[in-house]
Structure 1
Amino acid sequence: MTLNKFEGTGIAIITPFLDNGDVDFDSLHKLVDFQITNGVNYLVVLGTTGEAAALSKEEKAAVINSVIETNNNRVPLVVGFGGNNTREVVAQINQFNSFDKIDAILSVAPYYNKPSQEGIFLHYKEIASASPVPVIIYNVPGRTSVNINADTTIRIANELNNVIAVKEASGNMEQIMQIIKNKPDHFMVISGDDALTYPMIQLGASGVISVIGNAFPNEFSTMVTQALERNNQALQTHYHFFDIIKGIFEEGNPAGVKALLHQKGIILNNLRLPLVPVSESLYKKLHNLKEEINSMA
């Protein structure tokens, strides 16, 4: 199967920090290389997993530039542009001067305000009009307190030509099936839940934007490719990952996956407040689960 640039496995990359709290650009470089050399299809910068909400405007720009430089056009890049102030998101897009070096933006549903479905549609209409690159919408009601329902997603897909996909993290399989059933052919549904990636692909999703892939890029992207090819091995790999995926979210994201990356010697185990590293007991549990995954390789 020939995958287009946003099919397969995208990685919502973490932002590593030094012990003094500054962004650790050396570790970021190491992480980006680790992802690309292990076969992921694309990278997503400044998503929730990247702790974008805790980064300053200047830090965000520096992180984007660092990833662009390290990537060196090896894989497609997606950058997060989201918020609950439509004008501000549009202003950020208008001020961004590196669209020639990225391939799409990811924009989360407006949070906290709890807009109506009409408000959500008009929010994305403004973003799609402003963006010179394709837009992937991100539905994660567990964080935003608002759900982009199936009808609104289909309306966006049909009416906003620049919106090419939805990252669906609602966990609502009936809603996901409604979208897949009724979407136009050009529009993709991408899993936003690592644990639901395999079943969503079986239903017609195009892949995943993954968290666990930060720590296991080769193994998880192989599972996704196998699932897309309807290879029966993918189901076994899905269940191999089931417990560790549950484990990395026990004390919040990205604390769990950062613990795994620390154990692999790629980053320091630091987060920005209000997020904190996982407890010692969970750290040990994740280590044991990691060893189980390694033993299955």
Structure 2
Amino acid sequence: MAASGTNDQSHTAVTRPLSPGIYAPIPTFFHPESEDLDLDAFEKHILRTALAGVPPVLSGSMSEAIHLSHDERSTLIKTARKVLDNAGLDKMPIISGVGAGSTRECIEFANEAADAGADCAIAICSGYFAGALAGNKKALKAFWTEISQKSPIPVMIYNYPGAAGGINLDSDLITELAVECPNLVGVKLTCGDVGKLTRIAATVSDPTFLSNHPRKYRDAPFLVLGGFTDFLLPGAYANGHGAITGLANVAPHTLVKLFELSEGSKIDPKLLGEAQRLQGIVARADATIAKSSIAGTKFLLDRLYGYGGNTRRPLPPIEPAAGEALWEHPHTRALVDLELSLVQASGPPKNM
């Protein structure tokens, strides 16, 4: 969503607007000994997910952003932009995490992300001082307000208590931020709270929201995205907008299909049964694979595509026995079988 005239408050357009759908928080791949960025693996994975219709989210939790330097984050954005453009996907947006310990550094990351080619930033509040911040609505509101005001690109809220020392924004605060901050363009709810999603969407998906609360960029509405896909179908009926989900790394075609069926079933009820079937497979797999965290996802990518590798220390790799158990788990097998069937039905991917 790189903006033209980002300092202009007159509701200009954006180059690559975010749309409802599925987004993948892309892992960062490392060479085994040096732990330098493995850009070859990164490029392959960006292309694989993008060709399935899934835009990338970089430098978030799945990306091990806390382990990445400023230069590395910028390198990943530039590399992803090159891959997408070379594949003819020059209109596909890139979201980049700008989380850091201080508001000041988050804004620095936002400026660097914009310079590197990111279209949107996503910001999480650091949990280092969660004891002082978690119950302080004024401080939390000021955090996202200031970042959205000073960022040269649109900003999303990232609500993930597990990565923020337990800081968990309620629906009232998120809705207030959406109403009052025209450069905020969405929220990722990795709290897994369907009720929260429903309450926020009841405001921002109302037909009058944009007219009553114009956004800074006219093609940048406020999206309410889940952080998991175990409630993608219920979320669609609550007027949510999809998900940013680690499972999209393993099964991008499946999640795109589920999203399309979920949305389509609101128009054609005959699609609901198949949407429910896929939602059951996805929900079970999401719960199983999420327990293995980043290392488990990388293990599955190794098995499926021949790349993945280890996390960056001190984050430990998955134990071999646990990895094998994850691979052989019936929930994983059902998802993998579904994904491979959809890939086969769609034919060989281009540009791979």
Question: Fold conserved (TM > 0.5)?
Answer: yes
Give the aligned partner of residue 153 of structure 1: 174
User: Is the Cα contact below 8 Å between 1:27 and 1:266 reproduced in 2?
Assistant: no
Q: Does 1:265 align with 2:305?
A: yes
Q: Which of 311, 324, 329 does residue 284 from structure 1 map onto? A: 324
Taking structure 1 as reference, are residues 203 and 281 closer, same or farther at Cα in structure 2, changes over 3 Å only?
farther
Match of 1:237 in 2: 278
Taking a change above 3 Å as real, the CA distance of residues 254 and 221 of structure 1, as seen in their structure-2 partners, is same
Establish whether residue 123 from structure 1 lines up as the match of residue 143 from structure 2: yes
* 1:130-141 correspondence runs (5 A): 130-141=150-161
Alignment of 1:275 with 2:315, yes or no, is: yes
Counterpart Cα distance in 2 of 1:197 and 1:113? 32
2-structure distance, mates of 1:264, 1:191: 25
Asked whether the 8 Å contact 1:244–1:286 carries over to 2, the reply is: no
Q: Structure 1 residue 285: deviation in Å?
A: 2.6
Larger radius of gyration: 2
Of 239-248 and 149-158, more deviation after overlay is shown by 239-248
Paired AA for residue 178 in structure 1 = R
User: What one-letter code is carried by the residue in structure 1 that aligns with 2:237?
Assistant: Q
CA apart distance, 1:265: 2.5
Give the corresponding residue for 1:250: 291
Q: Which runs of 5+ in 1 are unaligned?
A: none
Report the 3-state secondary structure (helix = DSSP H, G, I; strand = E; otherwise coil) of the residue aligned with 1:49: coil
- CA displacement at 1:27 relative to structure 2: 0.5
Question: Counterpart amino acid of 2:58?
Answer: V
Q: Secondary structure, in 3 states, of the residue corresponding to 1:229?
A: helix
Q: Secondary structure at the match of 2:309?
A: coil
SS of the residue corresponding to residue 50 of structure 1 reads coil
CA distance in 1, matches of 2:323, 2:112: 40
Shift of 1:139: 0.6
Name the Cα RMSD after superposition.
1.9
Q: CA deviation at 1:241?
A: 2.0
Amino acid at match of 1:295: D
Please say if residues 110 and 120 of structure 1, whose CA atoms lie closer than 8 Å, have aligned partners that are also in contact: no
Instruction: Compute the displacement of 1:157 (Å).
Output: 0.5
Aligned residues: 291
The CA deviation at 1:39 is 2.1
Which residue of the partner structure matches residue 75 of structure 1? Answer: 92
In the superposition, the TM-score normalised over structure 2's length comes to 0.77
For the residues of structure 2 that align with 1:57 and 1:283, how far apart are their CA atoms? Answer: 31
TM-superposed deviation, 1:174:
2.6
Q: Does 1:201 align with 2:236?
A: yes
Matched, 1:172 2:193: yes
Q: Distance in 2 between matches of 1:96 and 1:177?
A: 31
Q: What is the deviation of 1:80? A: 0.7
AA matched with 2:25: A
What do the CA deviations read for 1:17-64 (whole angstroms, capped 9, x no partner)?
111112110000100110112222x21111100111111222222212
Distance 1:268 1:163 in 2: 33
| Equivalent-residue separation in structure 1 for 2:224 and 2:129 (angstroms) | 25
Counterpart residue number, 1:104: 120
Contact preservation (8 Å) 1:165, 1:189: yes
Give the conservation status (yes or no) of the 8 Å contact 1:248–1:255. Answer: no
How far 1:74 sits from its partner (Å)?
4.8
Gapped runs of 5+ residues in structure 2?
1-16, 211-220, 266-270, 342-352
Q: Does the CA contact (< 8 Å) of 1:137 and 1:167 recur in 2?
A: yes
